[in-house]
């Protein structure tokens, strides 16, 4: 599947990336790169999806617009949830101490292609 290939490309093109997964707004894993299947990534990504959904609601009530991404630092890892559309996000897992700003820039070409695949 093309999304599988794009997720693998995302991991290989971003310095310090260790895994990537596409999750629905309810936290359900939709697709992940074939080499990155891990329960830890799936569970952390589900958590991020649910938190991002809560932020969307709060931001809408406050008239702030939609959040584009969410960054969470765990012990030993950083995760970035990048919104793809109304119903899903890509979550990228990074090694600790990786620059978030640089990573967001490196993610953009691949996440743009994923958006195209979903027609958003």
Residue 34 in this model has a pLDDT that exceeds 80: no
Sheet hosting strand 69-74, strand order edge to edge: 29-32, 17-24, 88-95, 77-83, 69-74
Residue 79 confidence class, pLDDT cut points 50, 70, 90: very high
Instruction: State the CATH class of domain 2-118.
Output: alpha beta
Residue 35 confidence class, pLDDT cut points 50, 70, 90: low
> How is the chain split into domains, by residue range?
2-118
Predicted local confidence at residue 62, as pLDDT: 95
């Amino acid at each position: 599947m093309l999304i599988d290939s794009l997720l693998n490309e995302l991991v290989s093109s971003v310095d310090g990336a260790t895994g990537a997964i596409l999750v629905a707004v309810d936290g359900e894993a939709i697709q992940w790169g074939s080499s990155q299947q891990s329960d830890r990534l799936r569970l952390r990504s589900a958590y991020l999806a649910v938190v991002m959904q809560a932020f969307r609601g709060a931001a809408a009530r406050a008239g702030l617009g939609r959040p584009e991404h969410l960054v969470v630092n765990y012990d030993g890892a950083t995760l970035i949830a990048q919104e793809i559309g109304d119903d899903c996000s890509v979550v990228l897992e990074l090694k600790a101490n990786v620059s978030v700003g640089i990573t967001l820039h490196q993610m953009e070409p691949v996440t743009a292609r994923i958006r195209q695949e979903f027609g958003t």
